[in-house]
């Protein structure tokens, strides 16, 4: 997810870049004609950047896995043609855990912020090949600076009609929908998914951000249904905050995930949802999501955030 590591101070901070292309696999839409890069996947790029900081700081002996995240703020969206500036900082570190913070910026303005990510530190050799990790780091790190580029002034892309967008499906099917304020969905985890090649070579584990993506996706579906039921079909839910994110166990190929979403509050302009993931009859992850409800004109005015 990280295209280049630009600066690194062992034990302190790291910066990098991620370019967004029309050919990217993780484009989404709230309204037709306005594709944007998945904020959850952008968060994974920051998480990977922080991972490289800890790996390098430990001389390729440790690898972090995020187990808890206080909050994940979304204040703008990223679109094809953007270059994302990624930053990560270590707030504290011990022999077996670390506390970190990260941001995604577009044109110098923060659009995503990860606050207080708690990481458990595993021996690198349990999850990955240390020599392979050294080669990957060498290929990523150039010791340069941000390659800032001028971005289009239009608030939304203008080439949508020419390039069809196929969005990722984070939930395979809805299994229970008999209550208006709750949904249950199913996600099958299969070894054929490409991300298992790197996450992790010696112990395939479903990336935590994809677990979050499944919770957000089902929560958004639930809120969409409530908007239609309350005669607001012109509005769509836009995620602005995820908080109290917790991961309790590794998810591996062959697992089935049941995702539960329940509305905590709902109004014409906003809603909040709590979600959890159950695997083998145990809670594997949980989070709270907050949405604002926008019609097309308000959405086009407010997203994505631009400084040019």
For residue range 29-53, list pLDDT tens digits in order: 898 878 899 999 999 999 999 999 9
Instruction: Calculate the average pLDDT of the chain.
Output: 91
pLDDT at 197: 85
pLDDT tens digits, 122-177: 999 999 999 999 999 999 997 755 555 545 544 544 444 556 677 889 999 999 99
If asked whether residues 225 and 110 sit together in one domain, one would say no
Query: Does residue 101 have an active-site annotation?
Result: no
Residue 308 lies in a domain: no
If asked whether residues 124 and 182 sit together in one domain, one would say no
Q: Work out the average pLDDT over 90-100.
A: 96
- Tell whether omega for the bond before 36 is within 30 degrees of 0, i.e. cis: no
If asked whether residues 136 and 172 sit together in one domain, one would say no
How many domains does the structure of the chain reveal? 2
If asked whether residues 12 and 91 sit together in one domain, one would say yes
pLDDT at 223 over 50: yes
Residue 230 lies in a domain: yes
SS3 assignment, position 107: coil
Can you give the residue range of the structural domain that contains 36?
4-140
pLDDT at 148: 52
pLDDT at 34: 80
If asked whether residues 8 and 136 sit together in one domain, one would say yes
Per cent of the chain over pLDDT 70 is 92
Residue 149 lies in a domain: no
Start-end of H helices in 58-86: none
pLDDT tens digits, 246-259: 999 999 999 999 99
The CATH number linked to 244 is 3.10.129.10
If asked whether residues 121 and 15 sit together in one domain, one would say yes
pLDDT at 147: 52
Give the range among 66-70, 99-103, 143-147 with minimum mean pLDDT: 143-147
pLDDT at 84: 96
- What angle is formed at CA 20 by the lines to CA 39 and CA 71, rounded to 5 degrees? 20
In angstroms, the first-to-last Cα distance of the chain is 26
Count Cα atoms within 13 angstroms, Cβ side, for 35. 24
Residue 196 lies in a domain: yes
Residue 146 lies in a domain: no
pLDDT tens digits, 181-209: 999 999 999 999 888 888 998 999 999 99
Residue 160 lies in a domain: no
Nearest Cα neighbor of 156 from 270, 73, 42, 32 is: 32
Residue 151 lies in a domain: no
* All residues at 6 or more sequence positions from 91 whose CB lies less than 8 Å from its CB, including other chains: 99, 100, 101, 116
Per cent of the chain over pLDDT 90 is 80
The catalytically annotated residue of 101, 199, 230, 293 is: 199
């Amino acid at each position: 997810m990280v295209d280049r590591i630009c600066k690194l101070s062992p034990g302190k901070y790291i910066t990098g870049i991620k370019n967004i292309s029309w050919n990217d696999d993780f484009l989404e839409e709230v309204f037709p004609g306005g594709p944007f890069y998945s904020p959850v996947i952008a968060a994974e790029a920051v998480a990977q950047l922080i991972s490289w900081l800890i790996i390098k700081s430990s001389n390729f002996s440790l690898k972090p896995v995020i187990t808890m995240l206080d909050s994940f703020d979304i204040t703008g969206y990223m679109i094809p043609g953007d270059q994302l500036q990624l930053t990560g900082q270590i707030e504290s570190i011990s022999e077996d855990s670390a506390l970190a913070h990260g941001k995604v910026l577009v044109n110098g303005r923060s659009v995503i912020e990860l606050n207080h990510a708690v990481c458990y530190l595993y021996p690198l050799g349990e999850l990955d090949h240390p020599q392979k990790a050294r080669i990957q780091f060498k290929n990523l790190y150039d010791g340069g600076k941000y390659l800032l580029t001028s971005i289009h002034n239009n608030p939304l892309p203008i080439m949508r009609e020419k390039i069809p967008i196929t969005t990722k499906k984070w939930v395979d099917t809805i299994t229970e929908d008999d209550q208006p304020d709750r949904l249950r969905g199913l996600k099958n985890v299969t070894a054929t998914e490409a991300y298992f090649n790197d996450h992790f070579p010696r112990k395939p584990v479903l990336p935590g951000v994809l677990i979050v993506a499944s919770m957000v996706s089902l929560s958004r579906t639930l809120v969409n249904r409530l908007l239609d039921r309350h005669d607001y079909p012109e509005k769509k839910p836009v995620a602005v905050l995820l908080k109290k994110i917790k991961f309790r166990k590794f998810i591996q190929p062959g697992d089935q995930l049941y995702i539960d979403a329940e509305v905590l509050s709902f109004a014409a302009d906003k809603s909040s949802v709590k979600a959890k993931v159950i695997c083998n009859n145990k809670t594997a992850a949980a989070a709270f999501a907050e949405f604002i409800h926008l019609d097309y004109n308000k959405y086009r005015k407010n997203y994505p955030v631009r400084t040019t």
